[in-house]
Amino acid sequence: MALTDTLDDLISERRIEPQLAMKILANFDRSITEVLADKVKARLTFKGHLDTYRFCDEVWTFLIKDVTFKMENSSQTVVADKVKIVSCNSKRPGDPQ
């Protein structure tokens, strides 16, 4: 959100073009996906009540209520009233499997 807000400000101030902001966001998403896949080894489990789900344009959206998160190897839990999970395929058509 902070990156998007900053890019919006830069576009509003005419310091960058919208096309550059889109490239920055695409590179950020790709980089974060790679780092999470390669560097993060922790596991998180969560339980809750599935309120709504939908699949549109190759994107899944899940709305979950009364969610409890728990990290593996930790006794600490985090509780949330509502969580929205948006999921899409990280591979583009034509990418190697």
| Domains delineated in the chain | 2-39 (no CATH), 44-88 (2.30.18.10)
> How many Cα neighbours within 13 Å face the side chain of 57?
1
Helix axes 18-39, 2-12, angle to 10 degrees: 160
Q: Please enumerate, as own/partner, the contacts of 85-92 that have beta carbons within 8 Å and a separation of 24 or more.
A: 85/60, 85/61, 86/59, 86/60, 86/61, 87/59, 87/60, 87/61, 87/62, 88/58, 88/59, 88/60, 89/58, 90/33
Average pLDDT over residues 1-14: 94
Global pTM value: 0.57
Radius of gyration of the chain (CA): 17
Q: Is residue 97 scored above 60 in pLDDT?
A: no
pLDDT confidence tier of residue 33, bands split at 50, 70 and 90: confident
Reported as a single tens digit per residue, the pLDDT across 36-86 is 889 988 888 999 999 999 999 889 999 999 999 998 888 889 999 999 999
Q: Is residue 28 scored above 80 in pLDDT?
A: yes
